[in-house]
Amino acid sequence: MFPVIERVLYRLGYFVPEVRRMVALQVVIVFLSLGLIPLGVWARDLSIGAVLGGLNFFALARVIQELVFLRRGAIVALLLGFYIRLFLTAAALYVLIVMWQISVVMLVLGLSTVVLNILLWGMFHCVGRTSKEA
């Protein structure tokens, strides 16, 4: 779908093709949201949410690949990384909402671009597929 982005992502360590496609679609969504910034403050807040959601999505996509090839003892490192990312996201949300007082609605809309990504990926992935169930 996005061959140039997928080649870069492959070099960055996204080796599973379906994960790489989802991450490539999220990259496109984040850049599209960044293009909205000149439209005003609400667009800036939406872009901040999209970037924050995208960064979390990129990290989780990396973890999913590692879980497929899980080695003994690696679960502690994965959990530690998950909780560190969770704490950093919570701290970023605190700063954004409480200190900078950005629009919570637009922030949540930006964060929901990850859900949009998953829905779009599912639609593109399932188009043309037919299966019969017993």
- pLDDT digit string (tens) for 55-81? 999 999 988 887 776 666 677 777 888
Identify the burial level of 75 via C-beta atoms within 10 angstroms of its C-beta, where 0-12 means exposed, 13-18 middle and 19 or more buried. exposed
Q: Which range has the worst mean pLDDT, 31-40, 57-66, 121-130?
A: 121-130
14 within a domain of the structure (yes/no): yes
CA dist., res. 97 & res. 89, Å (int): 12
132 falls in which pLDDT band (50, 70, 90)? low
| 61 CB-near residues (< 8 Å, 6+ apart) | 14, 19, 22, 23
CA dist., res. 8 & res. 2, Å (int): 10
64 within a domain of the structure (yes/no): yes
pLDDT at 129 over 90: no
15 within a domain of the structure (yes/no): yes
Identify the burial level of 60 via C-beta atoms within 10 angstroms of its C-beta, where 0-12 means exposed, 13-18 middle and 19 or more buried. middle
Count CB atoms within 10 A of the CB of residue 133.
Answer: 3
pLDDT at 134 over 60: no
132 within a domain of the structure (yes/no): no
Q: Which of 36, 70, 72, 71 is nearest to 51 (CA)?
A: 36
56 within a domain of the structure (yes/no): yes
Q: How many structural domains does the chain have?
A: 1
- Residue-range definition of the domain harbouring residue 24: 3-124
131 within a domain of the structure (yes/no): no
Q: How much is the pLDDT for 57?
A: 96
The pLDDT tens digits of the residues spanning 75-113 come to 777 788 889 999 999 999 999 999 999 999 999 999 999
133 within a domain of the structure (yes/no): no
**C-alpha 75: how far from its chain's center?**
22
Q: How much is the pLDDT for 79?
A: 82
130 within a domain of the structure (yes/no): no
Q: How much is the pLDDT for 16?
A: 87
